[in-house]
Structure 1
Amino acid sequence: MNETVELQFENMVQWRRHLHRNPELSYMEKETAAFVAEKLESFGIEVRRNVGGHGLIGIVKGALPGRTVALRADMDALPISEESGAEYASKREGVMHACGHDGHTAALLGAAQYFAERREQLEGEIRLLFQASEEVCPGGAKPMIEEGALEGVDAVYGVHLWTPLPIGTAASVAGPMMASTDEFFIDITGRGGHGGMPHETVDSIIAASALVMQLQTIVSRSVDPLRPAVLSVGTINGGFAQNVVAETTRITGTVRTFDEETRALIRRRIEEMSRQIAEAYGASAQVDYLVGYPALINHASETERFFRIAPEALPGFNIEIAKPLMPAEDFAYYLQEKPGCFMLVGAGNSEKGFVYPHHHPRFDFDESALSASATLLIAMAESALQQKD
């Protein structure tokens, strides 16, 4: 592991813990951005502020000409009340870094300091993307791209601290790695009335219940079984009294896929099925379908770079082929524009109690993963800068 990064470890821990104590929700990362900008400027790095919301771009231009590599970290927290019991736990009720974004930011700050101290030997440019609002669609990646974050970039890399993987592990996979994410909202409208006279009503709850059961057949009977997909109903809400037939009922859920053909098929079947089932019960259906992040597709050449570079950068680590994941990531937008690779760094440690999943109120991670994350980002960037087109 990079010895310079190891020397920066205590700084990364301090930065991470400061951010963990002071989390900010998506689209509200003003203080976080100010903290990161102050650190970057203290390293002598040029900073562009308010990019795609509260996003930042740090620019390290080497003294020598060369390629341009972008490194990305996300900064936002989640609307969760922390129960970790850590001395650095969130000071803000109902807001928590429960996905490791504080660690991503701290690790990229470590990489930023590393490159800032070596700009005289640096061939090319390192572009540091501190992105806001990853957790909530439409996200912060797309607006950053629209505001020029990737102009002139030759490759882009990102790391996710991942507690399902143990410390001492790093993983990635070529092709689909994380799913697209869409959301649906279905409003069933019938005719309300007295619960004792159901024959004079059109029961929206009955129609919605039938629809929920039929929606489960889309993946099992409409989608090619060799193409992974998930359709989950998350809520069903209707009615307000035990003796009233509900006039309206709302169903909400999520869809996850790895290819656009399956994504479009499931949307079409949801819309068709909602209309047909509702009509069969004498009701009507209105479907609002929110198209979210696309699937994250790693580039083959850059994933090959990971498997070549990671064993050298992280000696003693288990370097694995990652299993594709159904959670989504708006890093996918960067990979639609430029060659790149998204990587997982193991951050779980059962011996220290770091066993809770992401988005859990007791989530935490082994901070030794910060050094591995920064080292991996640095090694990937240096390799890409040295590549001769």
Structure 2
Amino acid sequence: MNIKSLIKPYHQLVIDTRRDLHRIPELSSHEEKTSAYVIDYLKRENLPFTADIAGHGVMAVLDTGRPGPTLMLRADMDALPIAEQTGLSFASQHPGVMHACGHDAHTAMVLVAVTALKALKDQLCGTIKFIFQPAEEGPGGAKPMIEAGVMDNPRVDFALGCHIWPDIPEGTIGIRSGPLLAAASGFRIIIKGRGGHAAKPHLCVDALETGCQVVGALQRIVSRKMDPLAPTVITIGHFQAGTAFNVIPETATIGGTARTFDMDTWQRWPQLIEPVVKGVCDAMGAGYTFTFRKGCPPTVNDPGMARRLRDIAAAVVGPDRVIEPNQTLGGEDMAFYLQKAKGCFFCLGAGNDVDGGLHNPCFNFDETILASGVEVYCRAAIDLLA
């Protein structure tokens, strides 16, 4: 069967579907319109589905009627709290919310894979589960979807997912064996001091100054307690304190993330971070509260699946266009599915000069690459379920 010929009629469909979804971005755990769009598409395809899983998650099932393994194709649906600045004709219709991480494209590719794989049903054995997951950006929708049973009855044997990837050239497919993305955790610190007049610091406990020292001390965890050959990062992305130029603030709020590929470090982050916070606060006479969210583990591709997917990708874009992407300290809750089944999370190259890059208000890419993602899914289904 000529898979490229089968996919060709769907090239415009995947672009149109992505644009429909791009217009209606929704924040994590609020994917009502997106979920409804997915459901309408599945209804048109006359494919059985279950909705409202772990919030707004959806699972559709293609049963070939013949015994065989189960393949899962996963897409994430949520968007980011970013005001879009692309100027696109199909830009976000929801002020302050944007699909700036490609989740609209991920959902479009899996939806169109539904259409294509229905046409291939007679060539396949076993079952395909199409997973449309909420809340990837936070607090994480994969684990609740798994707890709701999406990987059971029948048990998922193989799991695939895809991410638009600006870090590799446009038109390439990136596949890496083993760890690809890091374990990503988050934390929140509230410094509690004693406020007062800016002219009388000796009568106060300056929460802002204490917070600044906490931020500096946290950076030394990486520079002095971690193996410099093991990628690790602590980043502070939020610091809020004070209401006026002449008032010493009573409280300061700090939010950050800790990233690593090392499973032991992932487990020990609270024991590494909190003593530093306590030490600084004790020295400054301040109190604190510390909240830690463990987040997702590293995203680790099964070596055997990665090898199979490289051969599949070579048939899609050519052997010279299949590359090994660098590891990144970004996080992905696809990691939870890959702990439960043999799988691979692959990268669809969007080009190093893609507008803005991920999580940027100008993010956009050449949509013609999306057909390659659909074709990988179809060829993978044939390879694994034929």
Instruction: Give the TM-score taking structure 1 as reference length.
Output: 0.93
Paired position in structure 1 for 2:217 = 214
User: Could you tell me how far apart the structure 1 residues matched to 2:206 and 2:41 are?
Assistant: 59
User: Could you tell me how far apart the structure 2 residues matched to 1:38 and 1:200 are?
Assistant: 63
Q: Alpha-carbon deviation of 1:232?
A: 1.0
User: Could you tell me how far apart the structure 1 residues matched to 2:5 and 2:318 are?
Assistant: 12
Q: Alpha-carbon deviation of 1:307?
A: 1.9
Equivalence map 1:1-389=2 (5 Å): 2-137=4-139, 139-151=140-152, 152-315=155-318, 318-348=321-351, 350=353, 354-386=354-386
Q: Alpha-carbon deviation of 1:112?
A: 0.8
User: Could you tell me how far apart the structure 2 residues matched to 1:303 and 1:87 are?
Assistant: 37
User: Could you tell me how far apart the structure 1 residues matched to 2:247 and 2:123 are?
Assistant: 75
Q: What is the CA RMSD across the aligned residues, in angstroms?
A: 1.7
Q: Alpha-carbon deviation of 1:117?
A: 1.6
- 1:179/1:294 contact within 8 Å kept: yes
SS in 1 for 2:305: helix
Q: Alpha-carbon deviation of 1:197?
A: 2.5
SS in 1 for 2:364: coil
Q: Alpha-carbon deviation of 1:316?
A: 6.0
- Given the superposition, is the C-alpha separation of residues 202 and 22 from structure 1 closer, same or farther in structure 2, using an over 3 Å criterion? closer
- 1:192/1:201 contact within 8 Å kept: yes
- Given the superposition, is the C-alpha separation of residues 235 and 29 from structure 1 closer, same or farther in structure 2, using an over 3 Å criterion? closer
- Given the superposition, is the C-alpha separation of residues 14 and 339 from structure 1 closer, same or farther in structure 2, using an over 3 Å criterion? same
User: Could you tell me how far apart the structure 1 residues matched to 2:11 and 2:364 are?
Assistant: 17
- 2:77/2:133 contact within 8 Å kept: yes
Q: Show CA shifts across 1:336-359 (max 9, x none).
A: 111100000112375xxx432011
- 2:183/2:299 contact within 8 Å kept: yes
User: Could you tell me how far apart the structure 2 residues matched to 1:130 and 1:310 are?
Assistant: 23
Q: Alpha-carbon deviation of 1:15?
A: 1.1
User: Could you tell me how far apart the structure 2 residues matched to 1:55 and 1:257 are?
Assistant: 28
User: Could you tell me how far apart the structure 2 residues matched to 1:245 and 1:356 are?
Assistant: 38
What are the ranges of 5 or more consecutive residues in structure 2 without an aligned counterpart? none
- 1:63/1:121 contact within 8 Å kept: no
Letter of the 2:290 partner, please give it.
V
Structure 1 window deviating more from structure 2 (228-237 vs 66-75): it is 228-237
- Given the superposition, is the C-alpha separation of residues 205 and 58 from structure 1 closer, same or farther in structure 2, using an over 3 Å criterion? same
- 1:314/1:376 contact within 8 Å kept: no
- 1:56/1:129 contact within 8 Å kept: yes
- 2:24/2:92 contact within 8 Å kept: yes
Q: Alpha-carbon deviation of 1:73?
A: 0.9
SS in 2 for 1:94: coil
- 1:100/1:365 contact within 8 Å kept: no
- 1:299/1:341 contact within 8 Å kept: yes
SS in 2 for 1:368: helix
Q: Alpha-carbon deviation of 1:332?
A: 0.8
Task: Indicate the percent of aligned positions where both proteins have the same amino acid.
Answer: 39
- 1:64/1:121 contact within 8 Å kept: no
User: Could you tell me how far apart the structure 2 residues matched to 1:179 and 1:200 are?
Assistant: 44
What are the ranges of 5 or more consecutive residues in structure 1 without an aligned counterpart? none
- 2:187/2:291 contact within 8 Å kept: yes
SS in 2 for 1:57: strand
Q: Show CA shifts across 1:188-231 (max 9, x none).
A: 22222332222222222222222221111100101112221110
- 2:167/2:352 contact within 8 Å kept: no
User: Could you tell me how far apart the structure 2 residues matched to 1:246 and 1:355 are?
Assistant: 40
SS in 2 for 1:166: coil
Letter of the 1:368 partner, please give it.
T
User: Could you tell me how far apart the structure 1 residues matched to 2:31 and 2:211 are?
Assistant: 39
- 2:159/2:344 contact within 8 Å kept: yes
Letter of the 2:385 partner, please give it.
L
Q: Alpha-carbon deviation of 1:305?
A: 1.4
- Given the superposition, is the C-alpha separation of residues 275 and 318 from structure 1 closer, same or farther in structure 2, using an over 3 Å criterion? same
Structure 1 window deviating more from structure 2 (282-291 vs 148-157): it is 282-291
- 1:218/1:266 contact within 8 Å kept: no
- Given the superposition, is the C-alpha separation of residues 91 and 207 from structure 1 closer, same or farther in structure 2, using an over 3 Å criterion? closer
User: Could you tell me how far apart the structure 2 residues matched to 1:72 and 1:297 are?
Assistant: 15
- 2:173/2:322 contact within 8 Å kept: yes
SS in 2 for 1:340: strand
- Given the superposition, is the C-alpha separation of residues 108 and 286 from structure 1 closer, same or farther in structure 2, using an over 3 Å criterion? same
- 2:168/2:325 contact within 8 Å kept: no
- 1:167/1:346 contact within 8 Å kept: yes
